[in-house]
A and B are shown apart, each in its own frame.
Chain A
């Protein structure tokens, strides 16, 4: 019986010096969880867009497409063969491949539906890939293509690639800005919450101060409170964000194989540590902010 009593006393001696505040704490946990959720989502989307953009941009660079229209005097198939033969002779060419009629039909099907395309005068595409950097200039390619088959056009994918890179850079900048704003909002929220906490616990803080507690000791009590709160809220926000990102990655955003045209937005294994770092950073921000706020307030006491 005595042992049980002493055990209870020991447990009590290690009890937190700040009382639990369930109501205020839950609202603050909710706010920080939402911020963490938004930060994780923003970061996740930024990483996915950046990865997809890199993959697509890499696929587009080092390749080009020749379009042989079906309105010439010669058949587009003959024109495509003439162009392919002319291009193969150039230095720096890795592969020249005439895209078959069946492949062209598959590319058009998402737009035209499952209708028969037989008899439609479709242009023939010739896919060209280069090796290394010693590739012919665009002007030279245009001249050779036009000479081999009048009306044929050379497309080096530069316009697409530049647009994609510009979009990716813009999304990255926006994501970074959103992350900074979320971090600032989190700091401001925690400053207000800590000040409110200090005000509501002013009597406790003053008593601790007057009986000789060091400022660090008092600050540590608040730090511990906000570290746990940050971790709890951060984990909640991360879980929600992971759920949304997984849903996003596993949902076919465009029906009937849209990912053939748009890269799939999904995260690689190397991206997940960045997301896990968000709640840790949230807890760190909460802890440091609480400490600085408490130290500043206590520092004003006599």
Chain B
């Protein structure tokens, strides 16, 4: 039986055992670093924020002077206590909110200079796992996962097999036609994760992606993120789960009171 060729998505690489079974980050990922003053670094960055502030309406600033650079292929955690601004920062990053001040660039483009009609194309390069899942209740699990591909103009015949395989891989092979109201919290979260990764985004942003999932499934999904990262996707995961952060040993940003700090890695000076 001939081996199927790669189709530009990660699922078959993961599902068909082409990934390392143990958790391992890609070795060729560039080191994380903050270099707000070097234009070429900013230009090549996946994401760059400089002195960004954000407030809702006329309220107080929920993010203050946030400066960060996320390099292509990087894997990062974003941690911090509840109310620190993690979700607000992620909203900025998946372009659901605009900064009140500061500079923000993404995929090498200054967002202040990017016309509105070009933003959807940027959003399609981002996979988002929303904290509250945000699945469409009238669509089945299959339809929810296929949504980013449908929006991208792909035909059902092109993605059917991939979506089915991905759903099977996250343990929902027998729940494809189930609608979200009939799914448990953990099942919804897995559908949300499958939807975020199905189009193999350049940037994956996940807000507490393993919060409602049992440890075994959490580890399985984390492996999915790692494999995705190994295949080139930049990953930023916001989480409270220290076990999750420490299991990978990757760099971490910590948000506190709206300010962002780099957390020194253990064993490194």
Binding site for B on A (CB under 8 A): 6, 8-10, 12-15, 17, 19, 203-204, 206-215, 217, 299, 302
Contacts and interface: CB of A to CB of B under 8 A. Distances in A.
A207 B134 contact: yes
B150 A212 contact: no
Interface in B129-181: 134, 136-140, 142-143, 146-148, 150-152, 156-157, 160, 163-164, 176-177
Given A9-B160, A14-B156, A203-B134, A211 B143 contact: no
A209 B116 CA distance: 12
Contacts of B98: 302
Contacts of B164: 6, 9
Contact of A9 (B94, B97, B142): B142
B58 interface: no
Contact of A208 (B116, B117, B151): B151
Given A13-B160, A14-B156, A15-B139, 7 more contacts: A9-B164, A10-B160, A206-B96, A210-B95, A210-B134, A211-B195, A212-B122
Most buried by B among A9, A19, A208, A211: A211
Nearest to A15: B143
A contacts with B: majority SS:
helix
Contacts of B147: 208, 211
Interface residues of B, number: 37
Contacts of A13: 142-143, 146, 150, 156, 160
Contacts of A214: 117, 120
B128 interface: yes
A10 B143 contact: no
B138 A10 contact: no
Given A207-B134, A212-B121, A215-B120, A10 B148 contact: no
B120 A12 contact: no
Contacts of A203: 134, 136
Contacts of B160: 6, 9-10, 13
B177 A212 contact: no
Given A14-B156, A15-B143, A215-B120, A207 B136 contact: yes
Given A6-B160, A19-B138, A302-B95, A211 B176 contact: no
27 contacts: A8-B177, A9-B156, A9-B160, A9-B164, A10-B156, A12-B139, A12-B140, A12-B177, A13-B143, A15-B143, A17-B139, A19-B137, A204-B136, A208-B151, A210-B95, A210-B96, A210-B134, A211-B124, A211-B128, A211-B147, A212-B121, A212-B123, A212-B152, A213-B151, A215-B117, A299-B116, A302-B95
A47 to B, nearest CB: 44
A210 B142 contact: no
Nearest to A11: B156
A204 B138 CA distance: 10
A240 to B, nearest CB: 33
B126 interface: yes
A212 B126 contact: yes
Interface string B80-120: 00000000000000111110000000000000000011001
Nearest to B138: A19
Contacts of B120: 212-215
Given A9-B164, A12-B143, A207-B134, A212 B156 contact: no
B128 A210 contact: yes
Nearest to B133: A207
Nearest to A16: B138
A217 B154 CA distance: 13
A212 B156 CA distance: 18
Contact of B96 (A10, A215, A299, A302): A302
A10 B157 contact: yes
Contacts of B116: 299
A212 B128 CA distance: 11
A286 B157 CA distance: 33
A4 to B, nearest CB: 12
A20 to B, nearest CB: 8
A17 B176 contact: no
Given A12-B140, A13-B160, A210-B94, A217 B151 contact: yes
